[in-house]
A and B are shown apart, each in its own frame.
Chain A
Amino acid sequence: MTSPVLELDGLIVRYGSFTALRGVSAQFPGGALGLLGPNGAGKSSMLRSILGLVQPAAGKVRLFGQDASKDPAALRRRVGYMPERDTWVGGMSAVRGLAHLAEICGFYPDDAMLRAHDVLHFVGLGEERYREVHTFSTGMRQRFKLAASLVHDPDLLFLDEPTNGLDPRGRTRMLNLIERVCHEHGIHLILASHLLPDVERLCDQVWVLDQGEMKKSERMETLTAAARGAKRVRVERNQVAAFRAAADAAGLLLAPGRSDTEFVLTRGEEQDVSSAEVFRIAAQADLRLLSVQAAARSLEDAFLEALTGPTPAPGN
Chain B
Amino acid sequence: MAFRAAEYDRFTGPRRKAPVWWPLFTATIRRGWGSKWVRRITFASMMMALTVTTLFYFLYQVIPDWQALLKQFGQATNPGGETFVIDSHAYLGLLRMFVYPVLLPLSLVFGYDLVAADLRSNAFESYFSRSITPLTYLVGRTFAFVSFLMLVTYAPVLWIWTFDVSIGPDGHFSEVAAVPLGMGAALLVTSIMLALMMQAITAVTRSGIWTNLVFVVVFLFSAMLGGILYGLTQNPNWFAVNPLHCIHVFCSLCMGTTERLNRRHMDPTADPSVVATVMIGTIVVCLVILWRSLRRRGVVG
Listed in ascending order, the chain A residues whose CB lies under 8 Å from chain B are 43-45, 47-48, 51, 53, 73-74, 76-77, 79, 81, 83, 85-92, 100-101, 103-108, 111, 115, 117-119, 121-122, 124, 126, 133-134, 148, 150, 152-153, 160, 180-181, 184-185
Q: Which residue of A lies closest to B14 (CB)?
A: A108
Q: A87 and B301 in contact (CB under 8 A), knowing A104-B20, A104-B127? A: no
Min CB distance A213 to B, Å, is: 18
Q: A185 and B15 in contact (CB under 8 A), knowing A86-B122, A91-B34? A: no
Q: Which residue of A lies closest to B22 (CB)?
A: A103
Q: Does B81 make an interface contact (CB < 8 A)?
A: no
Q: Which residue of B lies closest to A84 (CB)?
A: B301
Closest 3 CB pairs of A and B: A44-B301, A90-B117, A106-B15
DSSP majority for the B interface?
loop
Do residues A81 and B6 form an inter-chain contact, with CB atoms below 8 A?
no
Q: Which residue of B lies closest to A160 (CB)?
A: B301
Min CB distance B222 to A, Å, is: 30
DSSP majority for the A interface?
helix
Q: Which residues of B contact A101 (CB under 8 A)?
A: 126, 130
* Residue among B4, B6, B34, B121 with the highest chain A CB neighbour number at 10 A: B121
Do residues B300 and A81 form an inter-chain contact, with CB atoms below 8 A?
yes
Q: How far is the CA of A47 from the CA of B125 in the complex (A)?
A: 12
Do residues A76 and B129 form an inter-chain contact, with CB atoms below 8 A?
yes
Q: Does B131 make an interface contact (CB < 8 A)?
A: yes
Q: Which residues of B contact A73 (CB under 8 A)?
A: 20, 131, 133
The digit string for B1-44, where 1 denotes a CB below 8 A from any CB of A, is 00011111111011111101001101100010010000000000
Q: Does B120 make an interface contact (CB < 8 A)?
A: yes
Chain B residues 118-165 with CB under 8 Å of chain A are 118, 120-123, 125-133
Q: How far is the CA of A76 from the CA of B121 in the complex (A)?
A: 21
Q: Does B271 make an interface contact (CB < 8 A)?
A: no
Q: Which residue of A lies closest to B136 (CB)?
A: A73
Do residues A88 and B20 form an inter-chain contact, with CB atoms below 8 A?
no
Min CB distance A104 to B, Å, is: 5
Do residues A100 and B23 form an inter-chain contact, with CB atoms below 8 A?
yes
Do residues B130 and A74 form an inter-chain contact, with CB atoms below 8 A?
no
Min CB distance A184 to B, Å, is: 7
Chain B residues 184-230 with CB under 8 Å of chain A are none
Q: Which residue of A lies closest to B8 (CB)?
A: A122
Q: Which residues of A contact B301 (CB under 8 A)?
A: 43-45, 47-48, 53, 83, 160
Q: A122 and B129 in contact (CB under 8 A), knowing A83-B300, A89-B123, A91-B113? A: no
Listed in ascending order, the chain B residues whose CB lies under 8 Å from chain A are 4-11, 13-18, 20, 23-24, 26-27, 31, 34, 113, 117-118, 120-123, 125-133, 300-301
Q: Which residue of A lies closest to B13 (CB)?
A: A111
* Residue among A89, A111, A181 with the highest chain B CB neighbour number at 10 A: A89
**Additional pairs, 16, CB under 8 Å, beyond known A87-B123, A89-B118, A104-B132:** A53-B128, A76-B131, A83-B300, A83-B301, A91-B113, A92-B27, A104-B23, A104-B131, A107-B13, A107-B16, A117-B4, A118-B8, A118-B9, A122-B6, A133-B121, A152-B11
Do residues B130 and A76 form an inter-chain contact, with CB atoms below 8 A?
yes
Q: Which residues of B contact A89 (CB under 8 A)?
A: 27, 118, 121, 123, 126
Do residues A83 and B125 form an inter-chain contact, with CB atoms below 8 A?
yes
In the complex, which of the residues A88, A108, A126, A153 contacts B6, with contact meaning CB atoms closer than 8 Å? A126
Q: Which residues of B contact A181 (CB under 8 A)?
A: 8
Q: Which residue of A lies closest to B122 (CB)?
A: A87
Do residues A85 and B6 form an inter-chain contact, with CB atoms below 8 A?
no
In the complex, which of the residues A43, A47, A105, A115 contacts B130, with contact meaning CB atoms closer than 8 Å? A105
Min CB distance B126 to A, Å, is: 5
Q: Which residues of A contact B133 (CB under 8 A)?
A: 73
Q: How far is the CA of A205 from the CA of B263 in the complex (A)?
A: 80
Q: Which residue of B lies closest to A75 (CB)?
A: B131
Do residues B23 and A53 form an inter-chain contact, with CB atoms below 8 A?
no
In the complex, which of the residues B4, B27, B121, B300 contacts A53, with contact meaning CB atoms closer than 8 Å? B300
Q: Which residues of B contact A44 (CB under 8 A)?
A: 301
Do residues B125 and A104 form an inter-chain contact, with CB atoms below 8 A?
no
Do residues A100 and B121 form an inter-chain contact, with CB atoms below 8 A?
no
Q: Which residues of A contact B31 (CB under 8 A)?
A: 91-92
Q: How far is the CA of A152 from the CA of B26 in the complex (A)?
A: 18
Min CB distance B225 to A, Å, is: 34
Q: How far is the CA of A53 from the CA of B128 in the complex (A)?
A: 8
Q: Which residues of A contact B17 (CB under 8 A)?
A: 106
Q: Which residues of B contact A124 (CB under 8 A)?
A: 6
Q: A118 and B122 in contact (CB under 8 A), knowing A53-B300, A101-B130? A: no
Q: Which residue of B lies closest to A150 (CB)?
A: B8
Q: Which residues of B contact A184 (CB under 8 A)?
A: 8
Q: Which residues of A contact B24 (CB under 8 A)?
A: 104
Q: Which residue of B lies closest to A105 (CB)?
A: B130
Q: Which residues of B contact A103 (CB under 8 A)?
A: 23, 26
Q: Which residue of A lies closest to B18 (CB)?
A: A106
Min CB distance A277 to B, Å, is: 48
Do residues A90 and B23 form an inter-chain contact, with CB atoms below 8 A?
no
